[in-house]
Structure 1
Amino acid sequence: MKKFAAALCGTLLTLAPLVHASDNSKELERLQASEGVLNEIMATPDKSIPQSILASAYCVTVIPSYKKAAFVVGGQYGQGVTTCRTGHGWSAPVFVKLTGGSLGFQIGGQATDLVIIAMNQKGMQDMLKNKFKIGGDAAASAGPVGRNAQAGTDWKLNAELLTYSRSKGLFAGIDLEGAWFEQNSDDTRDFYGSAIPFETILKGNTPTPPSAHPFVATVAKYFVTAKASK
């Protein structure tokens, strides 16, 4: 009996990482998709996020395949990941949701990749909240695009958040006013194995899990490149 119990215990210990990996499959997929979105956007410098924006970024959120569908009443929903700049690099990621709605006589639907960048401490503090309204609780602007797009804009003065979208190969600033940005506590807890506060993670006090390194490293790479080009 003791040998059987020991063998069973050993089998469970062997399977535990596999079960954990399976449980995290949706979070891993989201991280990989977010990394891919950033790489694809930045592959064309003349139509990407300007270097001056990235060099000033406090936090970066990527929401791959944000869905908008409408039939008389429009609805919006997307899930993504956020990382923030700390004193020793970029933080481990947290999982977030973007939800909203719009009224109007609309028919149609589309899937859009979104990028939201916090441009100052206030924008970063908004992202540490449990939930906030874009354009209400946090001032937001459609972000400029391309090498020289920052010329003639007032984003440095007014925007806490800059918002971007990519749909059907086109990348441009987008107005997300009225959408709700909130923490996805369930997915963050599932990914880390415990309910670690968002602030603890985004302030750099939680090690980045190996599976999240590619996404965080991608954000860090573009930030460092932008800093070097200033």
Structure 2
Amino acid sequence: MKLDRRTVLTGATAALAAPILSALPVQPARADARRQALVDSSLDAARKILEGKDYPDAPRYMEGARGVLIVPELVQGGLIFGLAGGRGTLMARSAPRDWSPPAFYAMGSGSFGLQIGAKVSEVVFIIKTEKGLKAILDHRFKFGAQAGVALAIVGIGVEGATTAAVGADIIAFASSLGLFAGASLEGSYLDPDNDWNALYYGSGADTRAIVLDRRFTNPGAEPIRQFMAKW
């Protein structure tokens, strides 16, 4: 079979372009309102805690941080048996002012004790160390159970918090003291939500591919990335 010159050139061009195209970030198949709403809410919570007058120490702890996990609505409530849960976004920093797109996480826990009514908190976890980031990325993360990973709580009315945060791997800021007065974060868990990742970024998107490899992107994530670029 005789191939003309144009056919040969077209095949060669495609072969050369394939590895280049495969290395480019994958664009999402479609806009996704529910996932976008969580990204937007994460941005609002980050602004409130990282720039709010009630949390003057938060920007200082962002210096050199390896990542942030933002839970814009952590709900805890009920009588006798309290359940806590929410969804959040994880971002990692590879260089100064260079933050990854957000990957989706689910957070939950169960705690016994008298709790009247529901409490809703905005929580920003500042991940200070590589060890802390790796623990969250490697598997289901459980506060208080991960060996060698220290959590500190800093917020309004938490005495001695600044001292306790020295050397901590993860530092939590919350907008509601009720979260910590009614039940601590001990026993709470974090799970990557790769179903949500795939819906927002496209098929094959998982946490590592988003926050470490930077293989996926979504235009809707640019506002929160630009905000985080302040640090």
Preserved CA contact (<8 Å) 1:73 1:102: yes
| TM-score between the two structures when normalised by the length of structure 2 | 0.76
Equivalent positions of 1:37-186 (< 5 A) are 37-45=45-53, 47-87=55-95, 89-137=98-146, 138-143=149-154, 153-157=163-167, 159-167=168-176, 175-186=184-195
1:37 deviates by: 1.3
Identity of aligned residues (%): 24
Q: Is the 2:104–2:197 Cα contact (8 Å) retained in structure 1?
A: yes
CA-to-aligned-CA distance 1:9-47 (integer Å, 9 cap, x gap): xxxxxxxx9x922xx111100111111112222343463
Given that 1:78 and 1:99 are in contact with CA atoms closer than 8 Å, whether structure 2 keeps it comes out as yes
Shifted more, 48-57 versus 104-113: the winner is: 48-57
Q: Secondary structure at the match of 1:208?
A: coil
Within the candidate set 205, 228, 231, 1:196 is matched to 205
Q: Distance in 1 between matches of 2:180 and 2:187?
A: 19
Separation in 2 of the partners of 1:102 and 1:114? 18
Where does the alignment leave 5 or more consecutive residues of structure 2 unmatched?
1-26
Q: In the superposition, relative to structure 1, how do residues 211 and 57 fare at CA in structure 2: closer, same or farther (>3 Å)?
A: same
Higher strand share: 1
Task: State TM-score, norm by structure 1.
Answer: 0.76
8 Å CA contact retained: 1:119, 1:162:
yes
The alpha carbon displacement at 1:87 in A equals 3.8
SS at match of 2:116: strand
Aligned partner of 1:25: which letter?
A: A
Give 1 or 2 for the bigger CA radius of gyration. Answer: 2
AA matched with 1:186: D
Structure 2 partner of 1:33: 41
In the aligned structure 2, how far is the partner of 1:64 from the partner of 1:131?
Answer: 20
Q: Over aligned residues, Cα RMSD in angstroms?
A: 2.8
Instruction: Determine helix, strand or coil for the equivalent of 1:181.
Output: strand
* Cα deviation digits, residues 48-102 of structure 1 (max 9, x gap): 4433201121111111111001211010000011100114711111001110010
